[in-house]
Chains A and B, each alone.
Chain A
């Protein structure tokens, strides 16, 4: 009988080590974890900053101005803000590129699936929907920028008045629902990501496994509760 042994899917070239590292799946997952940490930091700071909405119009608007004036007179106006934005954009691009290329690699790894079906015993809902929640959160992010940064999705947008813009945006019930659903999906994405990153970085050991689950759950819950509270508060008339 002729044997049909496996042949490698791809061949390797000699490249400088950071690129060679990124070309491996383990390297890509490390990059996804590092960029994930940057994005988690952003999501947390963004949520905490926006909670200033509850302190009133003056506080939130002053916070918006302060973001542009980080560094004071030591640096050109908005330069630190743009440095942070550049880092975030780079983190987003790498996170998405790694996810897309790894997904393509994984599709190739099993061209013929289980005809009799699969029964999952360990993979939870969050883990299995990472690609879907990731894409939806990205689409939501674009809408969110159009709605509250650039203003072209918000008919009553006034540049430089975030409090007014937020209230105007969330007063539209369908928009508020989009925000609520998108943030719940973001929470589901974080529930797996904030747990999984320790594994990808190789930072975990059996002693911290329980703490990792706790950390990811608490982080996801904090983000969802904080972010979802804002459209609800506007819809309920608590903030107007």
Chain B
């Protein structure tokens, strides 16, 4: 199959970018979207041109490195998959495909389609951890967890931190990412000691970098792990509760 590509080219965060157009023949419908970009890059390199920079690593939908805006949709038209799991069979022969990087104030463009998502790391640093003694792993069955709770925490923990929620959000908000990271610890017994400080610190750090939630639901539709916006409600609930809980802790300290 043939495709006509319109790809964002940008030297670095300080320069202006622009779309460049490329025609690609002999694309197999069994290629993944990233393999199609690999073919384009081989063509560019053999023609003495600069290849298109894009991020990828595992290419099986679990690492969270890849991710581009394809025809105005984060990770493209297929639901519940990352860009690496999108196959060219989803496009028709002769399709016009527009590829753009994630757009957010806090995701500066490194080069072309690659953006710097380290603002998400700032949110994790603010509370995305638990206090645990080092050493050998404790016996897993010592702490009972109800099945429903462990399932809910696991669904939240499926977040691969790709940033598609930020990219898809009309407000550039990172609420789905932050909510997933908070829920996967706050739901479990191991996450309880830091529960109330975690939610406050992670929400505040999130808001230092990103926009706010208006409940559009675009993030949930774009998420390659199909994480539900119900977790955002859970984060909001814990954040409001924390306003009182944290006061009480301070009061008890005298």
The chain A residues found within 8 Å of chain B, CB to CB, are 1-6, 8-10, 12, 17, 21, 24-30, 102, 105-106, 108-123, 127-128, 130, 192, 195-196, 198-206, 209
Q: Tell me if B30 counts as interface (CB < 8 A to partner A).
A: no
Residues of A within 8 A of B236 (CB): 26, 29-30, 199-202
Query: How far apart are A213's CB and chain B's nearest CB, in angstroms?
Result: 11
Residues of A within 8 A of B69 (CB): 114, 116
A171 and B114 alpha carbons, distance in the complex (Å): 62
Residues of B within 8 A of A28 (CB): 212
A117 and B100 alpha carbons, distance in the complex (Å): 10
Residues of A within 8 A of B172 (CB): 106, 109-110
Q: Tell me if B90 counts as interface (CB < 8 A to partner A).
A: no
Interface SS, B side:
mixed
Nearest B-chain residue to A206, judged by Cβ = B230
Query: How far apart are A212's CB and chain B's nearest CB, in angstroms?
Result: 10
The stretch from B56-64, B138-146, B186-194, B201-209 touching chain A is B201-209
Map CB proximity to A onto B208-252 as digits: 1 under 8 Å, 0 otherwise: 111111111110111000001110111111111001000100000
Q: Tell me if B94 counts as interface (CB < 8 A to partner A).
A: no
Which 7 A-B pairs rank lowest in CB-CB distance, beginning with the nearest? A202-B237, A109-B211, A25-B212, A109-B172, A119-B72, A8-B208, A4-B13
A232 and B19 alpha carbons, distance in the complex (Å): 53
Assess the A199–B104 pair: CB atoms within 8 A: no
The stretch from B38-46, B81-89, B115-123, B127-135 touching chain A is B115-123
Q: How many residues of B contact A (CB 8 A)?
A: 59
Assess the B170–A102 pair: CB atoms within 8 A: no
Assess the B108–A6 pair: CB atoms within 8 A: yes
A192 and B217 alpha carbons, distance in the complex (Å): 12
A1 and B109 alpha carbons, distance in the complex (Å): 13
A206 and B218 alpha carbons, distance in the complex (Å): 18
A130 and B212 alpha carbons, distance in the complex (Å): 14
Q: Tell me if B73 counts as interface (CB < 8 A to partner A).
A: yes
Nearest A-chain residue to B107, judged by Cβ = A6
Tell which of A5, A10, A102 has the most Cβ of chain B within 10 Å: A5
Tell which of B108, B118, B217 has the most Cβ of chain A within 10 Å: B217
Q: Tell me if B103 counts as interface (CB < 8 A to partner A).
A: yes
Nearest A-chain residue to B212, judged by Cβ = A25
Residues of A within 8 A of B222 (CB): 121
A-B contacts, 6 of them at CB < 8 A, read A1-B110, A119-B73, A192-B215, A201-B233, A202-B234, A202-B238
